[in-house]
């Protein structure tokens, strides 16, 4: 487990192995979705931006444009920020272009889209449904899983139609929305399994774990081995409601919690928490399925799980399966983005997966990513890895993911029950005794064991 003490030399090697990471990772092609009725104005070429810088620019433009702002997304292929401006706001559109963004004029304002989402919450909060604003289409993307049939489907379809033409799109998912209790390094409470997401520092300065809130339903005491001695205790948790997150404090205050994600064969240092941006490429690490990647599809998503409604989530097309809940969502350059909550589908057929934003969870529980004394400062021979630095969203410093590669027996559960927050059918974990590194795939996506870069598995 990566919460245990790590020699400085090993940490330095881990960081060195990630130097080649950025150049070796192949970025996914981002969707250049056309917008209904949208048109691009003629202007100087937009700035070339990294995803994190694009997120910062989007935040600034949101404040500057006010009611004319209608969302933004990151074009990873051309490395530019695309900002939606309500049609007819020419002066503000010019300001956005001058700031370095590509501008698209759209018909639906953010206020109108949020009002539509409010109507869906009032009239169609049906288990098995979700919705989020999709800035690439300037519409609300409404999804229904396979359980939404008959009268429920008719109710949802009617509600979407009543929002008006051009306000929302409705699609059907083949899977079933459920929590994916599990994640990076496996952690256990009784027969239930979840995942350590990121190591953090609690408000009192003690080392702690940030993971999914629905995992806390399985028990208060958590171990790094099934049936083993507890290593952490639930301090705070929220699920369902305005999030899906929990803070577990380590029982041993001397526990070192390095700021990294172990992806099997290499580690990714986590430098800070950051907000997600639509279109951004992200990686997910889970103790069931290993490393997978994809794109952010929507923000502030609402998901109606069987246990209740959860709001404020990140919607992605990154696959996940039972055993992956609580695991880390991060970027190749070390930004902590989210915690695996749930979704539909699996890593064979794909599907939608939702994540709790790390920034929101940190603020709610009063924790920070890294403190410079829990392993973050020991990396690279003592070089600081950003612990205590302010992220663009106001969150602090370096974080950590307990990587699947250092399981140390956590895989011996041989089908241990998954903490499915009370759901039937979510519980069985399909990993058995398989080594975490072998779980990163058997085809072209499998790790070679060389620190040559992240390799997507699904």
Q: Are 180 and 256 within one domain?
A: yes
Place 422 in a pLDDT band, splitting at 50, 70 and 90. Answer: very low
Q: Are 43 and 180 within one domain?
A: no
Q: What is the 3-state secondary structure (H, E, C) of the chain?
A: CCCCCCCHHHHHHHHHHHCCHHHHCCCCCCCCCCCCCCEECCCCCCCCCCHHHHHHHHHHHHHHHHHHEEEEEEECCCCEEEEEEECCCHHHHHHHHHCCCEEEEECCCHHHHHHHHHHHHHHCCCCCEEEEEECCCCEEEEEECCCCCHHHHHHHHHHHHHCCCCCEEEEECCCCCEECCCCCEEEEECCEEEEECEEEECCCCCEEEEECHHHHHHCCEEECCCCCCEEEEEEEEECCECCCEEEEEECCCCCCCCCEEECCCCEEEECEECCCCCCCEEEEEECCCEEEEEEEEEEEEEEEECCEEEEEEEEECCCCCCCCCCCEEECCCCEEEEEEEEECCECCCECCEEEEEHHHHHHHHCCECCCCCCCHHHHHHHCCCCCCCECCCCCECCEECCCHHHCCCHHHHCCCECCCCCCCCCCECCCCCCCCHHHHCCCCCCCCCCCCCCCCCC
Would you say residue 334 has pLDDT above 60? yes
Would you say residue 131 has pLDDT above 90? yes
Whole-number Cα distances in Å, 408 to 17, 41, 430, 433: 22, 56, 18, 11
Q: Are 102 and 25 within one domain?
A: no
Better-scored residue on pLDDT, 196 or 192: 196
pLDDT in tens, 51-83: 889 989 999 999 999 999 999 999 988 999 999
Q: How many domains does the chain have?
A: 2
Would you say residue 428 has pLDDT above 50? no
- Residue 120 maps to a domain: no
Place 30 in a pLDDT band, splitting at 50, 70 and 90. Answer: very low
What are the backbone dihedrals phi and psi of residue 26, each rounded to the nearest 5 degrees, phi first? -95, 120
pLDDT in tens, 349-359: 888 999 999 99
Domain that holds residue 348: 1-34+126-436
Better-scored residue on pLDDT, 164 or 27: 164
Q: Are 24 and 43 within one domain?
A: no
Q: Are 227 and 83 within one domain?
A: no
Place 185 in a pLDDT band, splitting at 50, 70 and 90. Answer: low
pLDDT in tens, 382-402: 333 333 333 334 333 333 333
Would you say residue 203 has pLDDT above 80? yes
CATH number of the domain at 316, please: 2.40.10.120
Question: Among residues of the chain, what percentage have pLDDT more than 90?
Answer: 50
pTM score of the predicted model: 0.70
- Residue 46 maps to a domain: yes
Q: Are 241 and 308 in contact (CB under 8 A)?
A: yes
Would you say residue 1 has pLDDT above 70? no
Instruction: Take residue 106 and report the two structure tokens written for it.
Output: 């759209």
Place 408 in a pLDDT band, splitting at 50, 70 and 90. Answer: very low
Q: Which of 178-187, 188-197, 394-403 has the lowest mean pLDDT?
A: 394-403
State which of 134-148, 218-232, 365-379 shows the largest mean pLDDT: 134-148
Looking at residue 370, its pLDDT comes to 54
- Residue 81 maps to a domain: yes
Q: Are 214 and 339 within one domain?
A: yes
Looking at residue 123, its pLDDT comes to 96
pLDDT in tens, 277-310: 999 999 999 878 889 999 999 999 999 999 999 9
Question: Among residues of the chain, what percentage have pLDDT more than 70?
Answer: 69
Burial of residue 217 (CB within 10 Å: 0-12, 13-18, 19+) is buried
Would you say residue 276 has pLDDT above 50? yes
- Residue 443 maps to a domain: no
For residues 194-207, average pLDDT: 88
Distance CA 340, CA 197 (A): 8
Q: Are 256 and 335 within one domain?
A: yes
For residues 265-275, average pLDDT: 88
pLDDT in tens, 6-25: 333 233 323 333 322 233 33
The mean pLDDT of the chain is 75
Would you say residue 160 has pLDDT above 50? yes
- Residue 451 maps to a domain: no
Whole-number Cα distances in Å, 237 to 234, 309, 367: 7, 15, 13
Cβ neighbors of 104 (< 8 A, separation 6 or more) are 35, 38, 39, 40, 82, 83, 84, 85
Q: Are 78 and 164 within one domain?
A: no
- Cβ neighbours around 72 below 10 Å, total: 29
Distance CA 259, CA 274 (A): 15
- Residue 456 maps to a domain: no
Distance CA 322, CA 178 (A): 9
Give the domain-ending residue among 48, 72, 106. 106
- Residue 379 maps to a domain: yes
For residues 257-274, average pLDDT: 84
- Residue 449 maps to a domain: no
Place 259 in a pLDDT band, splitting at 50, 70 and 90. Answer: confident
For residues 246-271, average pLDDT: 86
Looking at residue 423, its pLDDT comes to 35
Looking at residue 149, its pLDDT comes to 96
Looking at residue 388, its pLDDT comes to 35
Q: Are 352 and 369 within one domain?
A: yes
Instruction: Take residue 342 and report the two structure tokens written for it.
Output: 């749930």
Distance CA 55, CA 142 (A): 24
By C-alpha distance, which of 440, 290, 7 is closest to 449? 440
Would you say residue 39 has pLDDT above 60? no
For residues 249-262, average pLDDT: 85
By C-alpha distance, which of 28, 105, 15, 4 is closest to 458? 28
Q: Are 274 and 242 within one domain?
A: yes
Q: Which residues are catalytically annotated?
A: 214, 244, 325
């Amino acid at each position: 487990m990566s919460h245990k003490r790590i020699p400085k030399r090993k940490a330095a090697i881990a960081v060195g192995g990630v130097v080649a990471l950025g150049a070796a990772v192949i970025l996914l092609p981002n969707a250049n979705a056309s917008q209904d009725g949208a048109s691009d104005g003629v202007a100087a070429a937009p700035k070339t931006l990294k995803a994190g810088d694009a997120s910062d620019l989007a935040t600034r433009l949101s404040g500057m444009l006010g009611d004319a702002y209608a969302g933004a997304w990151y074009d990873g292929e051309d490395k530019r920020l695309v900002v939606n401006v309500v049609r007819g706001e020419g002066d503000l559109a010019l300001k956005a272009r001058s700031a370095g963004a590509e501008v698209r004029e759209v018909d639906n304002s953010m206020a109108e889209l949020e009002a539509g989402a409010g109507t869906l919450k009032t009239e169609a909060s049906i288990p098995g449904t979700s919705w989020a604003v999709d800035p690439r289409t300037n519409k609300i993307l409404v999804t229904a899983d396979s359980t939404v049939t008959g009268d429920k489907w008719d109710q949802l379809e009617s509600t979407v139609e009543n929002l008006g033409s051009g306000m929302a799109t409705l699609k059907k998912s083949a899977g079933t929305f459920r929590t994916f209790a599990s994640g990076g390094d496996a952690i256990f409470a009784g027969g239930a399994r979840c995942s350590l997401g990121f190591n953090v520092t609690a408000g009192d300065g003690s080392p702690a774990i940030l993971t999914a809130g629905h995992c806390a339903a399985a028990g208060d005491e958590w171990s790094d081995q099934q049936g083993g001695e507890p290593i952490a205790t639930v301090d705070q948790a929220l699920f369902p409601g305005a999030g899906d997150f929990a803070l577990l404090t380590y029982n041993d205050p001397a526990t070192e919690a390095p700021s990294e994600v172990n992806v099997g064969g290499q580690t990714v240092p986590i430098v800070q928490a950051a907000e997600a941006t639509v279109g951004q490429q992200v990686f997910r690490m889970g103790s069931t399925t290993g490393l997978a990647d994809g794109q952010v599809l929507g923000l502030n998503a609402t998901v109606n799980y069987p246990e209740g409604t959860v709001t404020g989530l990140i919607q992605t097309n990154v696959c996940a399966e039972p055993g992956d809940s609580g695991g880390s969502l991060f970027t190749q350059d070390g930004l902590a983005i989210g915690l695996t909550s749930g979704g539909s589908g699996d890593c064979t057929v794909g599907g939608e997966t939702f994540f709790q934003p790390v920034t929101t969870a940190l603020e709610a529980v009063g924790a920070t990513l890294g403190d410079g004394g829990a392993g973050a400062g020991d990396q690279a021979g003592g070089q600081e890895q950003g612990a205590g630095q302010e992220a663009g969203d106001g969150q602090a410093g370096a974080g950590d993911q307990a990587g699947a590669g250092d399981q140390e027996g956590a895989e011996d559960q041989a089908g241990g029950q998954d903490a499915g927050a009370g759901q039937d059918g979510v519980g069985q974990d399909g990993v058995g005794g398989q080594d975490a590194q072998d779980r990163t795939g058997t085809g072209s996506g499998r790790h070679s064991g060389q620190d040559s870069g992240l390799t997507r598995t699904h």
